[in-house]
Structure 1
Amino acid sequence: MVHQAQGQLVQEVAADGALSALPSRYVLKEQHRPSPTAVATTGTAKPAAPSIPTVDVSRLADADPEEAARLRSALRSWGLFAVTGHGMQEPFLDAVLASSRAFFHLPTEAKPEYSNVVDAGDGEGGRRFQPEGYGVDRVDTDEQVLDWCDRLYLLVRPEDERQLRFWPAHPPDLRDLLHEFSVRSEKLARLVLAAMARSLGFQDGFFADKVGERMPSYARFTYYPPCPRPDLVHGLKPHTDNSVVTVLLLDERVGGLQVFLEDGGGWVDVPVLGGGRHQLLVVVGDEMEIMSNAAFRAPVHRVVAPGEAEERVSLAVFYQPEPHRVLEPSPELVSGERPAMYRRLEAKVFGDGFWDAFALGERTIDFLKVKVDVATDQPAAAAAVSGA
């Protein structure tokens, strides 16, 4: 059984010629409303202060000590960074985003076959939400405030587990572009994982061995339609990522991504680069925060909706541990001086809990009560880490 709002696409709401005011389902309480300052087209976006860190991953691959220091600084201060030297050329990235836009611009009647609302299989004609496919994020209650975006969410790797019935046949180049992007971005993700391991004094495979050779990756294409009042809604609500790391390709023309800096910086805009250049980010996810015992922290981020004369699209690829893997603080990073800060649980349990937490606007680590209160709960944490 799905909520009646599950099938309401934001793109259709935005295209309603009679829309004189935003439907209440999208309007935030005043204290939760974002600043719209991040919404700007190329040439008018103001630089973020402080500037987002940038890391040249080709130099990381060569174990350049200066670049390794930049990576450590970026992870400590932001939990994400822009990447250069990744080998993905501007024409290729432009084609990826252009094909993404072309899918969302297809007529509504051309997209139901990819819907994330599917037959419940109960023999009674019931319907259910499932993460893969096209539509909006999961709607659970009448009180849930909805985000101003539609999305297409797909398992891309391992390749033999792809559900191609959800992969759009149009535009005809989208499948090949997504495949190529997934191959290249996985190389980037594994390179970063190796560099993160080295930054803690471990061998390159320290984190890669924990996530597995068949590391699942999920692609999320997100479309933000024009919005007459971006100051009243969330394009995408504040959240941390369900991933070890995320590779994120931003819209090259319209900004909107904001990162929350806990050291007093508050919400900071990630600007567009302008000049047809594409911003590619790597973001630390919740699973890495747990595995590293908070040596690396997942940043809270959100998206401000575009203005009424604009639209925005992005592509994120989330890299996760194999579902059967145990998710826990790495024993090498647990000591008397730094006790385990998270409990032990299966990666699949954490991944399934993400959807419940996200619908509620909560962080999965908090929703599943994964954090350990070191002052009062350390014996339980020690038992969890030892497998007792």
Structure 2
Amino acid sequence: MSREGAEYALRARADERDRISGDLLDLESHTTYQLLKGAALRGATQQRWAGVQAALGTLWLLNDAYRTVLRDAEQIRGARAKLGADQLAELTELLVGTSVVLRAAAKPVEQRSLLPQADERLTLDETVARMDGAFHEVTSALNDIDAVWNTVLPRLDDADRDLREIRDLERELGESVDLTAQESRLRRMRADALEDPLGAAPGPDLGGIARVLAEARAEIDQAIVVKREFARRREDLVAALDRVRAAESEARLAHGAVVVKIALPPQAQPRSRVQELAGELDALDASADTWVARARRLANLEHEAEQAAGRAQATAKALYGLVGRRDELRGRLGACQAMAVRKGMAEDPSASECYERARALLWSAPCDLTKAAAAVETYQRAIHGGKP
């Protein structure tokens, strides 16, 4: 190696040493590395970390040996302003030869031999390559653990925050929800995530806990609202029951008015729910249930009252609609009779018989709408020559 080449190679190695030192300092200060260094690990993570520790030990041994060679090389170069042939040869050997000595590791007595253990000699390039492999083994483990922690720990933090907020709301409500199992599982999941992220990190169970907490939070929120607004909502429910009572009364009146005009099946008799709902409200008033349970019962009662009023109104409308249907058939029969006159079939015996049957059905009380509609249809076909 020429003097210029040796000096250039030494400068390049010095830059390389500084860069490696910076990378190792960054590794030492890495947050995940600092957390793992003093952590009580177990399982797959403990096994992986044992390999990392071995790789780190090798990395630091190689780095120390590498720096020793460069320090010797720099001392040779700094000893004289101009390198002599002997110094150049010595410097060249350090820079390109197998100048890095990796001492044989001390072994436990049961693994020793009486024969001497040979030290390993490496070039600077081989040393850097081996350090790079060890460095990547360490950073790969850190990245894998980081990936789990970055995914799982924020979700665990969210669940813990939700649980704390639920406990705060419980104090406001004066009641508690049994979330002991979820709280215990969260503690276990956090311990698993911290102690063995590679082997025991939480899976789908964490999503299940989050859903349970969300449902519990929603129930408590609703219970607090009910507690604050119970008196007003109870008054509103009483008013809603009055509307149900009025709607059911209208349905009964409609049935009474229609049943004398239209033949109705027994199941057309309107059924009342207002007494049952009023009884449930009385039971709610006397209940010693928690506010969470009372909130569910009150919401259910409000919904059922609304449904009952709607059904009663629909029943009344449908009953009155039957009278409208009869009147529609009467009008249709009259229109068909007028058409029969225009077509000269007013005196046709067959058509006249059909007309009289339809008219008798439509003007009878109570009217059988099904038979009447069929009779009008028969009369219409008769005046059209058998066509609809």
What TM-score do you get using the length of structure 2 for normalisation?
A: 0.17
Structure that is richer in helix per residue: 2
Instruction: Answer with 1 or 2: which has the greater Rg.
Output: 2
What TM-score do you get using the length of structure 1 for normalisation?
A: 0.17
Structure that is richer in strand per residue: 1
